[in-house]
Amino acid sequence: MTGSIAYLGPPGTYTESAALAYAQTVQGGSEAVACLCPYPTIAQTLQAVAAEQVNVGVVPVENSIQGSVTMTLDTLWGLEHLRIQQALVLPIHHVLISQATELVAVETVYSHPQALAQCQRWLAQHLPQVQQVASNSTTEALEHLPQDPTAAAIASERAAGLHQLPILARGINDYPGNCTRFWVMGWATPQPELKPSSHVSLAFSAPANVPGALVKPLQVFAQRGINLSRIESRPTKRSLGEYLFFIDLEANLAEAQVQEAIAELRPYTEVLKIFGGYEVIAVARSQVNH
Amino acid sequence: MTGSIAYLGPPGTYTESAALAYAQTVQGGSEAVACLCPYPTIAQTLQAVAAEQVNVGVVPVENSIQGSVTMTLDTLWGLEHLRIQQALVLPIHHVLISQATELVAVETVYSHPQALAQCQRWLAQHLPQVQQVASNSTTEALEHLPQDPTAAAIASERAAGLHQLPILARGINDYPGNCTRFWVMGWATPQPELKPSSHVSLAFSAPANVPGALVKPLQVFAQRGINLSRIESRPTKRSLGEYLFFIDLEANLAEAQVQEAIAELRPYTEVLKIFGGYEVIAVARSQVNH
C-alpha cells in the first residue's frame, strides 16, 4: 500500500495528475490509495513529508519550457531527511475553459503565470485583446468562471471535468512537446538500501569568488564519463553572487564509481546534499487521468 | 544626452528607480532625459531597443533572494544586436501600503509574486490570516487600494508617493540585504569600441548529452584564473534536458586573454552570444528616488 500521498493541490492541478499516475504505478491499480492529500504550496507539501504526516509528497521540479521550479529547489535545500523515490515526466496539455461559446466573447484569461507564459503565442494570435490575470494555481483560475461568462481559464482537461466547466479550445500550448518533471519525495531511511537508479540528484554550496570553484566538481563526474543532465544555480540568499548548485546525473547511485565520485566531490563543497538515486517514469498521454 | 530610456513599467516599479539612477549617472543630473518610457513587459522593453525605438532599455536580471529573472534571459537569447551598456545593483526596500490604519484591518495583500515571496516570513508573523493575491507588477497591486480599505499592497516607497497612498509598515523584507541587478541594454554598434569592463556576460548552447559538455567551457576560464560570478541554465524549449547556459565573468573584455578564452570557447558551443563587457554601479539607498 502506498499510504498517504501529499501533492501541490487543489484537485485538478497537473501535480495531482502526477500523483495519480504515481499511485497507479506503485499499486498496479489494484488497491486504493489511503489518502491523496492536497496542500496549498510546494513548501507545505514537502514539510508534510519531512514531518512524517504523509508517506510521500509529489512536487513539480522542472518544466521543459519554463525551466526549474525554484520553490521546490529552495525548499528542499532547507529540509533534512528527504529522499527522491521516483521521478515522473508528465505531458502538459493546456485547454481553454470558459462558459463563453465563442472566443470573441472572452475578455479575461486567468491562470498560473507559468501556464499563461506557455500559451503566449496562441493568446497573441487568438485573443490579442484580452486581459491576462495571474492566479495562484491553474485550478484556482477556474473560480472566476461560474459567475462571469466573459472569463476564461487555462488549466487541464481534468480540471474542466472536475468543475463541470466547458472546454472552449484545445491544443493551445505554444510548444507541443511541453512536459513537466515531478519528484516523489519520501523520508530517508537511516541506512538506505541502494536500489539501482538511472538518475542521481544532489546539491552543494561552493566557496564564493574562487576561480574554477565549479570546474573541479564538474570534472569529478566528467572524467568518469558520468553525464550531467541538468545544472541549476540558486542564490544562497546571503548576498548577490553566492550560489548553490543543483545537479542531476545520469548515474546509478549503487555503482562504486558513482560513490567514489561523490566522495571526491565532497572536499570541493561547503555543504553537500544527496537527494538520492531514482528511476524516471515517462507517463504516456493515455495514462493521464482526465 | 541619454535620449530615450525604455523600462519595465509602470512608473513606481523598482525598474523605474533603476532607470532613474542610470539617467543620473550618465548625465550627472545636469540634463533632462528626453523620455523615460514604461513598457508593460520585459519582452516589449527589450524589443523596443532591438527595433531602435529607444536608445537603451532597463530590465531586471537577478534578485539576491529569488534568483534569475528568466524572462530577461530567454528574451535576450532570442534577440540580435543588443549589448549590455551598464549593470546597476539596487537595494530593494519593500513597504506595506494601505488605507487601513492598523494591521488587524488588512484582509488581502496584493503584489508581484516575487515581492510576496520576499516578505513571506514577515507576512506569516504579522498578517497570518490575510489572503495573498498575485498581481502583474508591484505597482499594479496598488490599483486595489483606493476603493478597498481592507486591501494592502507590497511595493516601493516611491510607488506609495506617486499614488499618494499611505505607508502602513516599513522594513518588511525577510532578508535585509535584498537587492536586484539590472542591465541597461543598448544597440550593438558594428565595430564596438572595447572599453575596459569589470564584467562580461555571454550565453551558449552546448551539444546535448555529452559527458563533460560543460566542463570544457568552464575550464577555458578557470585555467586563466577568470572567475565566474554566475552560471544559469535555461531550457532550450526543444526537449527536457537540453539547456542554454548564461555565464557572467569577472573580466575585462578589452583584455587579450579574455578574447583568447572566448575564441577557445567557441568550438565547444553550438551557438555563442556575447552580451558585452560592462561596469557595475552599486546604487546607494540615498540615491534611490523616493
CATH code assigned at A257? 3.40.190.10
**pLDDT at residue A276 in the model:** 93
Angle at A179 between CA A175 and CA A279, to 5 degrees: 150
Mean of pLDDT values over B204-221: 80
**pLDDT at residue A123 in the model:** 92
**Residue A189 C-alpha, separation from nearest chain B C-alpha, in angstroms:** 30
Domain boundary among the residues A115, A149, A169 is at: A169
Residue B67 or A21, more confident: A21
Based on the fold, state whether residues A83 and A98 are members of the same structural domain.
no
* Range name among A150-154, A286-290, B173-177, B227-231 with the lowest pLDDT average: A286-290
**Cβ distance B152 to B106 under 8 Å?**
yes
| Alpha-carbon dihedral B60, B154, A67, B78, rounded to 10 degrees | -30
ipTM over 0.85: no
Query: In this structure, what C-alpha cell is assigned to residue B104?
Result: 488587524
Place of cell 494592502: B152
Based on the fold, state whether residues B102 and B47 are members of the same structural domain.
no
- Phi, psi dihedral angles at A217 (to 5 degrees): -55, -40
Q: Where in the sequence is the domain holding B110, given as residue range(s)?
A: 95-169
Based on the fold, state whether residues A203 and A263 are members of the same structural domain.
yes
Based on the fold, state whether residues A163 and A208 are members of the same structural domain.
no
Nearest chain A residue to B175 by CA: give it.
A237
Domain boundary among the residues B146, B169, B192 is at: B169
What gap in Å lies between CA A147 and CA B195, rounded to an integer?
Answer: 60
Based on the fold, state whether residues B152 and B138 are members of the same structural domain.
yes
This prediction's pTM: 0.81
Based on the fold, state whether residues A44 and A74 are members of the same structural domain.
yes
Q: Do A209 and B227 touch (CB under 8 A)?
A: yes
Residues of chain B in contact with residue A243, where contact means CB-CB under 8 angstroms, are 230-231
**pLDDT at residue A113 in the model:** 78
**Cβ distance B243 to B274 under 8 Å?**
no
Helix (H) or strand (E) holding B277: strand B271-278
Query: In this structure, what C-alpha cell is assigned to residue B123?
Result: 507576512
Residue B123 or B177, more confident: B123
- Phi, psi dihedral angles at A53 (to 5 degrees): -80, -20
What gap in Å lies between CA B188 and CA B203, rounded to an integer?
Answer: 16
Residue A66, amino acid: Q
Nearest chain B residue to A91 by CA: give it.
B240
**Cβ distance A220 to A204 under 8 Å?**
no
**Residue B64 C-alpha, separation from nearest chain A C-alpha, in angstroms:** 5
Residues of chain A in contact with residue B175, where contact means CB-CB under 8 angstroms, are 237
- B287 pLDDT exceeds 80? no
Based on the fold, state whether residues B150 and B184 are members of the same structural domain.
no
Among A134, A136, A228, beta carbon nearest to B214: A228
Based on the fold, state whether residues A73 and A193 are members of the same structural domain.
yes
Position A150 in a domain: yes
**pLDDT at residue B65 in the model:** 77
Position A282 in a domain: yes
pLDDT, tens digit, for every residue of A241-286? Answer: 778 899 999 999 999 999 999 999 999 999 999 999 999 999 887 7
Region class of A55: left (phi > 0), else alpha (psi between -120 and 50), else beta = alpha
Based on the fold, state whether residues B210 and B258 are members of the same structural domain.
yes
**pLDDT at residue A1 in the model:** 43
**Cβ distance B243 to B233 under 8 Å?**
yes
**Cβ distance B159 to B97 under 8 Å?**
yes
What whole-number percentage of chain B has pLDDT above 90? 55
In A188-279, DSSP assigns E strands to 199-205, 227-235, 243-250, 271-278
Q: Do A215 and B219 touch (CB under 8 A)?
A: yes
- B30 pLDDT exceeds 60? no
Position A237 in a domain: yes
Position A174 in a domain: no
Among A221, A229, A241, beta carbon nearest to B229: A241
Question: How remote is the C-alpha of B48 from its chain's centroid?
Answer: 17
- B1 pLDDT exceeds 50? no
Q: Do A70 and B67 touch (CB under 8 A)?
A: yes
3-state helix, strand, coil in chain B (%, to 5): 30, 30, 40
- B31 pLDDT exceeds 60? no
Domain boundary among the residues B106, B134, B169 is at: B169
**pLDDT at residue A63 in the model:** 85
Based on the fold, state whether residues B282 and B185 are members of the same structural domain.
yes
Residue A193 or B101, more confident: B101
- B2 pLDDT exceeds 60? no
Residues of chain A with pLDDT under 50: 1, 30
Residues of chain A in contact with residue B135, where contact means CB-CB under 8 angstroms, are 134
At B289, the pLDDT band (50, 70, 90 cuts) reads low
| DSSP string of B142-200, one letter each residue | GGGTTT-TTEEEEE-HHHHHHTT--EEE----SSTT-EEEEEEEEEPPSS------SEE
**pLDDT at residue A150 in the model:** 96
Q: Do A227 and B210 touch (CB under 8 A)?
A: yes
Residue from A61, A205, A219, A237 whose CB has the most chain B CBs within 10 Å, to mutate:
A237
| DSSP string of A27-94, one letter each residue | HTTSS--SEEEEESSHHHHHHHHHTTSSSEEEEEEEETTTEE-HHHHHHHHH--SEEEEEEEEEE--E
Angle at A288 between CA A25 and CA A135, to 5 degrees: 120
Q: Do A66 and B64 touch (CB under 8 A)?
A: no
At B210, the pLDDT band (50, 70, 90 cuts) reads low
Position B192 in a domain: yes
Position B222 in a domain: yes
Position B174 in a domain: no
Based on the fold, state whether residues A158 and A183 are members of the same structural domain.
no
| DSSP string of A96-153, one letter each residue | EEES-SSGGG--EEEE-HHHHHTTHHHHHHH-TTPEEEE-SSTTGGGGGTTT-TTEEE
Mean of pLDDT values over B269-286: 91
Based on the fold, state whether residues A131 and A27 are members of the same structural domain.
no
**pLDDT at residue A102 in the model:** 95
Question: How remote is the C-alpha of A125 from its chain's centroid?
Answer: 29
Query: In this structure, what C-alpha cell is assigned to residue A259?
Result: 560513490
Position A255 in a domain: yes
Q: How many CB atoms are closer than 10 A to CB A229?
A: 20
pLDDT, tens digit, for every residue of B127-168? Answer: 988 988 878 778 888 999 999 999 999 999 999 999 999 999
Domain count, chain B: 2
What gap in Å lies between CA A179 and CA B139, rounded to an integer?
Answer: 33
Residues of chain A in contact with residue B70, where contact means CB-CB under 8 angstroms, are 66-67
**Residue A228 C-alpha, separation from nearest chain B C-alpha, in angstroms:** 7
